[in-house]
Amino acid sequence: MHKIALLFLTFTLTLLALDNESKICQKCHPIIYDEYYDSSHRKSSVYNNPIHQAYWDKHPKDEKGYTCAKCHTPTDHKVLERGVLEKNKVQVEEPISCVFCHTIKDVNEGEHSNSNISSGEHKEFFTAEKSLRNSEKAEFKTQTSFFGLVKTSTSSPYHKIDYNNENYYNGNVCMGCHSHTNNEHGFDTAMLDAVIDDKDKNSCVTCHMPQVMGSKVSLSDSRTHAFHGMAGIYHMNSEMGKYIDFELKEDSSGFSVTVVNKSNHALFGQALREGILKTTIMRNGKEIKLHEFSFIRILGKEGKEVMPWAANETLKDTLIYASREVKFTRHLEKGDVLILKLGVQLLSDAGAVSLNLQDNKEVTKFRVLKSQKIKIGHGEDRQIQ
């Protein structure tokens, strides 16, 4: 009980000093906070993300000012209201805060982009936990037993918890920002529309916030928690391999590899991003590298490649939707080992040059999402590793 009282006092003092910053959440959720602090959500502002900064530097400016705020820095109310972007503590420490995400009540679908509808509550948070679905809002309570000798506490001394918002179970909570982003020509530059309904096996949450080891809260023990570092290109890349399959076929002209996408959105659809399939044959101790295949969408206007805000057409589209077949004219032999690696660059080499980021090795780093070895035999002799 003394521990609870001390935590409550700490919360109160912290609130007065920090005005609801995400740092408050660290007191009870240290593991989750550390993950969040290294996530793309915490690094979404121009001051933390070099790609976003490069885009904004090149973006045409008008009287509207910084128009990316509702998704990239929704916690900074000043820039939301005035459109004037300036470096401050919110931009650096919590452009997308814990409170912002956990108070999204619903999502309003828009023609150009969606918008998040906040509950406006700063002491009542939504979350998902299947065992507590359809239960009453959780409030802090203490109970005594054994004639007052044993005291136990349930829920949080800081906030109420609502387990009944369906958007947090089906992943639709992410669709306020991670859906379509249409420019002034009505052209979608992000290609992140996800089909979120009851028939979907996977959602934003199941793929990008998988359960990982570690207690979600320090006041009680839980074996696992939802990963708040956002699994994907920046973190836990190999986790994404669970949602990708390779299918191999051979014929008289050579062989083909079909990349099967089990997620509910196109892979690598963001502007200037590039997925790459690297294919190698190991034969008699020698390495035979085949041509690399690029999964990319090039945006244009009047037949020429342009920046996303100016685009009104697609010049090239080799993205992976449900699947994409890649053909090779070389024949496989018994005893060969076929090595497949599917990865992604935050920016294509050409994209990095167009944003003046060619010297930033992180943005063109090849990040492996799925790798597999297939030993070539005949019929049942084929082995997949």
Tens digits of residue pLDDT in 246-256: 999 999 999 99
Residues 6+ apart with CB under 8 A from 61: none
Given a cut of 50, whether residue 13 has pLDDT beyond it is: no
Give dist(CA 321, CA 263) in Å, integer. Answer: 9
pLDDT at 379: 55
Cβ neighbours for 316, distance < 8 A, ≥ 6 positions apart: 296, 297, 298
Residue 18 reports pLDDT greater than 50? no
Q: For residues 301 and 314, is the Cβ–Cβ distance under 8 A?
A: no
Cα–Cα distances in Å, from 341 out to 83, 338, 350, 354, 371? 43, 10, 21, 27, 4
Average pLDDT over residues 8-17: 41
Q: What pLDDT, on a 0 to 100 scale, did the predictor assign at position 150?
A: 52
Two tokens, residue 348: 């294509």
Cβ pair 65, 84 in contact under 8 A:
yes
Q: Please give the average per-residue pLDDT across 165-185, as a whole number.
A: 92
pLDDT digits (tens, 9 = 90+) for 294-339: 999 999 999 999 999 999 999 999 999 999 999 999 999 999 999 9
Q: Is CATH 2.60.40.10 what the domain over 237-384 is classified as, yes or no?
A: yes
Residue pair 59/53 in contact (Cβ under 8 Å)? The answer is no
pLDDT digits (tens, 9 = 90+) for 342-378: 999 999 999 999 999 999 999 999 999 999 999 998 5
Query: Tell me, what's the pLDDT at 15?
Result: 41
Q: Indicate yes or no: pTM above 0.95.
A: no
**Phi-psi category of 203—alpha, beta or left, where left has phi over 0 and alpha has psi -120 to 50?**
beta
How far is the C-alpha of 215 from the C-alpha of 317, rounded, in Å? 43
Residue ranges, comma separated, of all CATH 2.60.40.10 domains in the chain are 237-384
Is pLDDT at 20 greater than 80 in this prediction?
A: no
200-232: pLDDT as tens digits: 678 889 899 999 999 999 877 889 999 999 999
